[in-house]
Structure 1
């Protein structure tokens, strides 16, 4: 068995949203190290230029394209510019997410509800559809949707965010069933508590951390690189028979 080719993304083009930092950037770096041409996207071009330069300095092929995934017309531009740059899309990672509220679900405003659903559910839906014509032409197409353990069981203080992530899991399974005939694999990763800026409200809270450590079999916070490693597996030929899967990387929190 040739492990170097089993986990290789050589000559593949990977589009990753929410990729200027945290989990998204770690995924981009892992994919690039495996030979992929990566397109990283987030809202601010300045941040993307900085992170793209870091990747290029390591000898990787990378492009940064600004996009607010909550605006559907910007998603269309993202796909168009990706194809203009590299001519194809082989791997799509829907990582961008929003959670503007933390607290009781009944205190969530309609505006916050709409923003969470637009970014966490509607955007992946639309972006997958936009990428479909290119994915079905790929020899090894893969879609990876980054959900959350909150999508499996609601997290305290993250009510509507948890609802959106449950919807993303279901959406992924729908696409896996329908796109299997086109050989497009669609899988979901549900991270647990990962030390990123996005989850700082959780890991910086001593009360929450005390509760988490009691519940975790592996008693530590996870890293972005650990989610990136699982993403590389799902994007690569090593996962050629895996679709519709829901993969947890949570230190055993959901056991």
Structure 2
């Protein structure tokens, strides 16, 4: 199948890489971290301190005809809980446990009227509203397991925070394009040391020639110790920073699952 690779822009304003294939345009823009003026603007608009590293000018997008689906840090952070009642939610209860059971005396004012873990159930931004809920699987796992040429691949970080050196929260987007299909994985990965792991995944999948764009969203959590004990016999605990490994260790019965499709 014929395709055209895209590369344009510069390091100062951002480099756009991508591919045009079978009427689809798929792009990933990587730009420098937000500067102080952009961070001030963010804090005024959203009313919360920004993550330590926010790539507000990064953007991943897929489009065909008039349909566009894209991912940005600001749209994701707009879904972080900022309500006054956020201090009573489960995530903040975890924060109480964290401060009580740890020796991290440098952590102050953990309980704030916003979700300090920057957790988001963002699924991307779509200019189409008529997504249809479906019950059957929407990702062709067997096809993705086949050996097939990858004609375009990229990984793009939207934001990251080290939670006062006591964990990590990161939102990233990976995309893989083959001659017969493409897959986009948007992942929010959360690790709060000695407390919990959380993973929110959105997968966008399309087989060329199919009339549908597929979306699958999963959200799951597990206690820190339940994952940590799986490597007790291994002195190398770097696996706890590996989102793919952690995701494979959380049982499926611990997850929320939603599936949708869009006619394209």
Q: Name the larger-Rg structure.
A: 2
Short-chain TM bin: under 0.3
- Whose RCO is larger (CA < 8 A, sep 6+)? 1
TM-score with structure 1 length normalisation? 0.27
Bigger strand fraction: 2
**TM-score if structure 2 supplies the norm length?**
0.26
